[in-house]
Amino acid sequence: MSKVTKGWDDEEVLAALQQALRAQRAVPPEFIEAGKNAFAWHNIDAELAQLTYDSTLDSARELSLRAEAASIRALTFTSAHLTIELEVAQDSLLGQIIPAQPATIRIQPREDAEITLTTDEIGCFSIQPIPAGQFRLHCRTAAGVDALTGWITL
Amino acid sequence: MRDDPSVIALVARVGDGDQEAWDELVERYAPLVWSICVRYRLSRQDIDDVGQSVWLLLIEQIGKLREPAALPGWLATTTRRECLRVLRAGRRYDHEGLPPDDQMPPDPSATMIEQEVIVAERNAALRAAFAELPQPCRELLSLLMSDPAPAYAEISARLGMAIGSIGPTRARCLDRLRRSPHLVAVLDDQAGDGIEVDDIEIKEPRGEQGD
């Protein structure tokens, strides 16, 4: 028995190694890839706006609404200083910044060039057409607060 | 748990903008994040959401981590909080009146998280140690760990190794693995009375480690 590792005999160390490699194989490669991609955020000076509500995950809402109304998707992203509310309308994506204030919105599609637009006085905006692939929103208020959502797929 | 110097070095390199170090960090800890999500029985979509938030929060805060060695604990706590967040975003727990996460009392899952951190650190150390073994050792051990394990005759044929030397080589390779600095850093204070590798259930606190 090695002095360094006390109780580990050959069978134990082999079983432990087997478990360690199995735990690694259990993780899908895309999950790891997505983690590596997060490096793109290095040195970006913006607050992360996290998904705090998604109507498709709200089972109570689905039950309470009739089928045709339930298809309208609503999402809420919250950062330390800003909330971004999104609603998927028929041919556009409607949004509002809370607290209500003017802001610049940059739509950053993963595979495409970014688009910049400006909200109205109370922070409302409309994105047309609805982004097809993954995208994120970078919001900068007139007061200089920056918030960036995670990747969104509608 | 003793500080793992390789983690401290990785964190410092990420702070300097080293993408390779970040990739290594993600590979090392993805199993930890994943296993905690699985414990919360999240859907695959929710797990991806949690993963995204955890890595983004880490890259955002890695420069501010005062104790790089505490990274595994930070990751586990953050993952747990994010799991509760996505569960709450779905309002699935509304009727159960789950309190805001900063007011969450210590619950059994906190113990589970600690256990996951210990197991994940041990696993990461084992993988790092294994990756540094000489190629013939890795080949032999991989074969011995495959399920079902091949007979010695087959191993002998595949590796071009005399049957009689498989046993001694196995012992030498495992000894080399055991002596790896990666394992010494992580295992020294875990291995006091042997480790039950298949048992990651919540256990009674261990008693004094006397000889």
- What interface predicted TM-score (ipTM) does this complex get? 0.77
B108 to chain A nearest CA, in Å? 22
CB contact under 8 A, B194 and A7: yes
**Least CB–CB distance from A60: residue in B34, B94, B177:** B94
Residue in the block written with tokens 């480690």: B209
CB contact under 8 A, A27 and B30: yes
The two beta strands, A124-127 and A93-98, are antiparallel
Cβ contact B192:B209 at 8 Å: yes
pLDDT digits 0-9 by tens, B107-124:
546 788 888 999 999 999
Instruction: Please indicate whether residue B194 or residue B84 has the higher confidence score (pLDDT).
Output: B84
Residue in the block written with tokens 């414990």: B39
CB < 8 Å from A in window 22-51 of B: 22-23, 26-27, 30-31, 33-35, 46-49, 51
Q: How many CA atoms lie within 13 A of B46 on its CB side?
A: 27
Instruction: Please indicate whether residue A8 or residue B173 has the higher confidence score (pLDDT).
Output: B173
Q: Which of B105, B124, B104, B109 is nearest to B201 (CA)?
A: B109
Q: What is the mean pLDDT of residues A55-72?
A: 60
Listed range (A31-45, B48-62, B75-89, B191-205) with the worst mean pLDDT = B191-205
Q: Is A64 on the interface with B (CB under 8 A)?
A: no
Closest chain A CA to residue B209: A6
CB contact under 8 A, B175 and A2: yes
Listed range (A92-106, B54-68, B87-101, B105-119) with the worst mean pLDDT = B87-101
Residue in the block written with tokens 């930890």: B32
**Least CB–CB distance from A57: residue in B90, B130, B194:** B90
Residue B74, helix vs strand vs coil: helix
Q: Give residue B183's pLDDT.
A: 86
CB contact under 8 A, A42 and B17: yes
pLDDT confidence band for A147 (50 / 70 / 90): very high
Q: Tokens at residue B167, please?
A: 């046993």
Closest chain A CA to residue B174: A10
Q: Give residue A151's pLDDT.
A: 81
Residue-level length of chain B:
211
| Backbone φ and ψ of B164, nearest 5° | -65, -20
- pLDDT of residue A106 exceeding 50, the answer is yes
Residue B153: other Cβ atoms inside 10 A: 10
CB contact under 8 A, A61 and B197: no
Q: Which of A53, A44, A31, A52 is nearest to A108 (CA)?
A: A44
* Domains of chain B from N-terminus onward: 1-104 (1.10.1740.10), 132-211 (no CATH)
Distance CA A90, CA A61 (A): 20
Query: B2, B33, B34: which to substitute to probe chain A, counting the most A Cβ within 10 Å?
Result: B34
Distance CA A89, CA A154 (A): 11
**Least CB–CB distance from B178: residue in A5, A43, A52:** A5
- CB contacts of A26 in chain B (<8 Å) are 31, 34-35
Distance CA B47, CA A107 (A): 24
Cβ contact A98:A83 at 8 Å: yes
- pLDDT of residue B198 exceeding 60, the answer is no
pLDDT confidence band for B202 (50 / 70 / 90): very low
Distance CA B39, CA B112 (A): 9
The structure's pTM equals: 0.67
